[in-house]
Amino acid sequence: MQNKIRLLFVSLAVVLMLGSCKKEVQEADNPQPMYTLPQGNHAFDQAIVDFHQKYGIYILYKFNNVDFRWNFNQNIPFEGTPGDPERVSGSLTFLKDELFGYYTEDLFRKMIPFKIMLCNKIIPLEPSSGEPLEGLVDATWSQSHIAFGHTDKRWDGFSEQQKKQAKGAIHGAFWAAAYAGNRIEIAPDFIQGIPYSYVRADNYKMYGVFAFPATASSDLFDYVSRITSHTKAELESLYFNPQFDPTGVYRRKYNDLITFYKANHKIDLQAIGDAKLH
């Protein structure tokens, strides 16, 4: 992916009988920004430079909010603040152990986004108004980046369960970003028959969706984040039971994902969830 992207969409129709033509040009408001590495002179900055030279992607702990929210022709409904430089080394270790290390070199190169942003915190925003919502999120994504939301001293007080949840969230963001950016395909049976634009509060469970409004990317995030942060026994107890899943649709979609990615990419998502934290 080029460091600076300018999207230009041109529609041209020529009607010979009428002797007329029509051209419509739509341009994205913001081009993809450019970055300079290293961003500092810490010991870990050289590791970030080495990572960029190997994979061609940027790990950033300094950025602005326009940068963070940019998603080609729209903004993501999250706000990210730059990570604490004193905590970057710990975040890099966490990502290396709990994300990068689970993927083969070929699959990792296929799925890796243009940038990874290390944030002090990630704040969800109300999509229409842009007003901050309560709480923080562990990770988020766009077509071109994933973001980790705990490059901050709060991480030191996290329980093992909280860190497992963060592990799941960054895996979920990794897969959702890869799918949104056309770097990985989604399991066809997983999304078959789901009219995501019509998923609402009164029908989301019949489609095996965890949250609404929903898209295929957010649905993939919700499943992968849960799978990679829970053992199979925990998933059975929490979700694959008659109370939560009376029709078996959640179990069926889970099986669709596990089977498809094992067969096509030799990756066992459940094995990630079954593994203990490093």
Query: What is the pLDDT, as a whole number, of residue 32?
Result: 53
What is the distance between the alpha carbons of residues 108 and 98, in angstroms, rounded to a whole number? 13
Rounded to the nearest 10°, the torsion over CA 272, 275, 277, 278 is: -100
130: left (phi over 0), alpha (psi -120 to 50) or beta: left
Which helix (H) or strand (E) is 89 found in, with range?
A: helix 88-98
Q: What is the dihedral of CA 134, 208, 188, 170, to 10 degrees?
A: 30
CA-closest candidate to residue 137, choices 160, 112, 170, 89: 170
Tens-level pLDDT at each residue, the chain (278 residues): 333 333 332 232 322 222 333 333 333 445 554 789 999 999 999 999 999 999 999 999 999 988 999 888 889 999 999 999 999 999 999 999 999 999 999 999 999 999 999 999 999 999 888 899 999 999 999 999 999 999 999 999 999 999 999 999 999 999 999 999 999 999 999 999 999 999 999 999 999 999 999 999 999 999 999 999 999 999 999 999 999 999 999 999 999 999 999 999 999 999 999 999 99
| Single-letter amino acid code for the residue at 278 | H
Q: What is the pLDDT of residue 145?
A: 96
Report CA 168 to chain centroid distance, whole Å: 11
CA distance 123 to 136: 5
Exposure letters 44-61 (e unless 16+ CB within 10 A, then b): bbebbeebbeeeebbbbb
With 0-12 / 13-18 / 19 or more C-beta atoms within 10 angstroms meaning exposed / middle / buried, residue 255 is middle
